[in-house]
Structure 1
């Protein structure tokens, strides 16, 4: 546009000049020019542009990382469920109408009866012992160790510890020999051992349960099942009966059964009849839950919580882009006025600022997708997991970044399109 045409446009914008209004030619903004101008606008302040895109990087990166880690963790939940929960059956003694006079409906050979069923690996009966109303466990009868700790006392057959899958920190679990002879031995969890100050078994330490000394033969460091055993005192059931009697009606016995994979449901159906063919109503079997239902519930709750966090990050990124773009509009008021004076229409200004904010959002989405994917892979490698990321997540994440940038740029772009050229050039 030549100098005379520029002056004509300025005169047309001034009221009361008495000058005949010139008709501005219709202008066009080609796509190539739009992208060039947007690129130049972003490179004017590269540091600010990078910080503007950082919000989208964090939001999209969190979005990808959350979905990827959720999918990866869900597969690990499935694996752990299949190997542990799906191989566990609990049998409760509910008495029944024909056993009102019995405190313990389990027969003496209940573990061996269950272990004869095909698919059963280990089985044992256990119950919680009440010692004079308070289960105070001490490391010594007098002195510094006589203060004691309140801890559950569990009477159990050897099969309970075997079914729990213990990892021994020291010593061993008691066996059939201790069970048959009602030996005064115990196995304690690592948590209780630390509280009692028992650090080694070389001195054959003892604990005092209600004043009764029992030799510690093993310290359990971890278990696959029944985590409460780590804070308990486990006594052979025959020893518990010798000192404190059998299970009471308020605390009836239970049986823990570990099975091979796929056999738990069948074992749960057969258990009551195998234990007492004449009175199967005395027992209630609890089979493992449906793995698909469990996975759906766990994954659904996890997805909702973490996606909420990702949404918050995206909102923060959107506000950041909108704020920075609006500041850029105010700083570039003179430039916008000059473009309007040279013939740029309002929609051209809108398109330019939307393109800049959308480009920043898309760039942040691409970088965020890469960082989120690297995070999932890094966590999976560190935990020895198999990383899982759905292709739709990777494909949609940059689009989400683009949409975030466009949404954030709507108001600043509209604000820029409303700037009048005369007012802008006067500043």
Structure 2
């Protein structure tokens, strides 16, 4: 018996998945369920949009904070009465012509002297005998301020006018009220020339202020000229008076060096100039806190988007089990199946990242326009955002893709 040779088994060529085929198959898979694809992509749109928006708004807001800090630092100088803090009796080391001398310095817009009058729990009322009157307040404070100090504090006038050099020179008994103090005393109008009594001493109200850039304590007090305060109550208690100077931008340091000598050329050491402190530490801390908070919010948004993509991709794998089994039976390798689902989730993430980036930039610009701010967008935040969306989609699709790749053809076709 002659044995015939065994026929050789024909070897099939290995299957390949080209990039073109991968793109076509992925787009076809997404187009099969457009509604679900849009809802899946919405998670990435919101996540990346929130990421770009919150970081852009953080940068814009911190820029405004830095501008406010710099403006405050560059335009305000305070001078303390160093001699009063060491003297055994109440003294006043500022000259009576302090306003004029300060105004003559280069770069000074306004400047003057102020202090808290040495009154202990004064009775402030709208009548000379406050025993039976409701318009009485013992919580208000009486402040002395020269016209230059009032101007340097930059108040917002509501009614009347601020007292001037005429009232200061004559020691007139006039006063300015903050709106909170006027409300407590029941003073709502000035056309009838209301009078405030401080320990039965009358002061005509010439104006009310609603806001003030410096010395906010003035809003809850009665402000009188320094010449009147010296005549009625004497010099201030320790630590004494202070000078407040409002300068042009950049002139604060020069003014701080020149002001003590201009005020007291005989003994400049009696006055201690305090240039505005550099708020860099506080500013950096505020910026760091804001950035950390918004980064956390952005990370949460991206996580929510990633969970949405992972959930929808996993559902798609379960629904397309038969399709996966047929592809495997026709020769598709596990890596081909995994690549297809990864490509779909990555495409959803990238497209969502592009749309989210556009919406985030639009939100930053709209907010800046509404608040009259300067929009600040860092390229390092905006340009990588679509790639971040693609990365989120890729990571979200890893588990569903691996699960699809492990699907056995026979088990899949039996379902």
Match for residue 209 of structure 2 among 201, 206, 220: 220
Match for residue 334 of structure 1 among 322, 330, 336: 322
Alpha-carbon separation, structure 1, partners of 2:189 and 2:325: 83
Aligned to 1:203: 192
Aligned to 2:220: 231
Residues 309/121 of structure 1: CA separation in 2 closer, same or farther (3 Å cut): same
Alpha-carbon separation, structure 1, partners of 2:119 and 2:347: 72
Conserved in 1, the CA contact under 8 Å of 2:136 and 2:185?
A: no
Residue by residue over 1:401-424, the C-alpha shift from the partner in whole angstroms, topping out at 9 and shown as x without a partner, is 111111222222222222222222
Match for residue 299 of structure 2 among 311, 316, 324: 311
Residue by residue over 1:25-79, the C-alpha shift from the partner in whole angstroms, topping out at 9 and shown as x without a partner, is 5211121221222222223332322222222222222222233233333443454
Conserved in 1, the CA contact under 8 Å of 2:48 and 2:353?
A: yes
Conserved in 1, the CA contact under 8 Å of 2:112 and 2:243?
A: yes
Within 5 A, what are the aligned runs for 1:128-143? 128-129=116-117, 131-132=119-120, 134=121, 137-138=124-125, 141=130
Aligned to 1:173: 162
3-state SS of paired residue (2:376): coil
Aligned to 1:148: 137
Residue by residue over 1:81-105, the C-alpha shift from the partner in whole angstroms, topping out at 9 and shown as x without a partner, is 4544311111122337974544333
Residues 48/114 of structure 1: CA separation in 2 closer, same or farther (3 Å cut): same
Match for residue 103 of structure 1 among 91, 96, 103: 91
Residues 320/228 of structure 1: CA separation in 2 closer, same or farther (3 Å cut): farther
Aligned to 1:271: 259
Conserved in 2, the CA contact under 8 Å of 1:131 and 1:210?
A: no
3-state SS of paired residue (2:175): strand
Aligned to 2:383: 395
The Cα shift of 1:152 comes to: 3.8
Deviates more, 1:201-210 or 1:387-396: 201-210
Alpha-carbon separation, structure 2, partners of 1:138 and 1:301: 46
Conserved in 2, the CA contact under 8 Å of 1:71 and 1:389?
A: yes
Match for residue 172 of structure 2 among 160, 169, 183: 183
Alpha-carbon separation, structure 2, partners of 1:342 and 1:149: 94
Deviates more, 1:134-143 or 1:267-276: 134-143
Give aligned pairs, total: 405
Aligned to 1:343: 331
Match for residue 16 of structure 2 among 19, 28, 31: 28
Residue by residue over 1:155-177, the C-alpha shift from the partner in whole angstroms, topping out at 9 and shown as x without a partner, is 21111110122221222111112
Within 5 A, what are the aligned runs for 1:247-396? 247-249=236-238, 251-290=239-278, 296-396=284-384
3-state SS of paired residue (2:384): helix
Residues 317/110 of structure 1: CA separation in 2 closer, same or farther (3 Å cut): same
Deviates more, 1:189-198 or 1:392-401: 189-198
Superposition RMSD in Å? 2.9
The Cα shift of 1:374 comes to: 1.0
Aligned to 1:7: none
1:116 aligns with 2:108: no
Match for residue 38 of structure 2 among 33, 36, 50: 50
Deviates more, 1:186-195 or 1:57-66: 186-195
Aligned to 1:158: 147
Residues 420/162 of structure 1: CA separation in 2 closer, same or farther (3 Å cut): same
Which sections of structure 1, spanning at least 5 residues, go unmatched?
A: 1-20
Conserved in 2, the CA contact under 8 Å of 1:138 and 1:208?
A: yes
Which sections of structure 2, spanning at least 5 residues, go unmatched?
A: 1-8
1:240 aligns with 2:220: no
Q: TM-score, normalised by structure 2?
A: 0.86
Conserved in 2, the CA contact under 8 Å of 1:139 and 1:145?
A: no
Deviates more, 1:157-166 or 1:44-53: 44-53
Deviates more, 1:301-310 or 1:156-165: 301-310
Residues 283/194 of structure 1: CA separation in 2 closer, same or farther (3 Å cut): same
Residue by residue over 1:353-411, the C-alpha shift from the partner in whole angstroms, topping out at 9 and shown as x without a partner, is 21111111111111111111111211222222332323333211111111111122222
Alpha-carbon separation, structure 2, partners of 1:91 and 1:387: 37
The Cα shift of 1:292 comes to: 6.3
Aligned to 1:409: 397
3-state SS of paired residue (1:95): helix
Deviates more, 1:209-218 or 1:327-336: 209-218
Q: TM-score, normalised by structure 1?
A: 0.84
The Cα shift of 1:106 comes to: 2.1
3-state SS of paired residue (2:326): helix
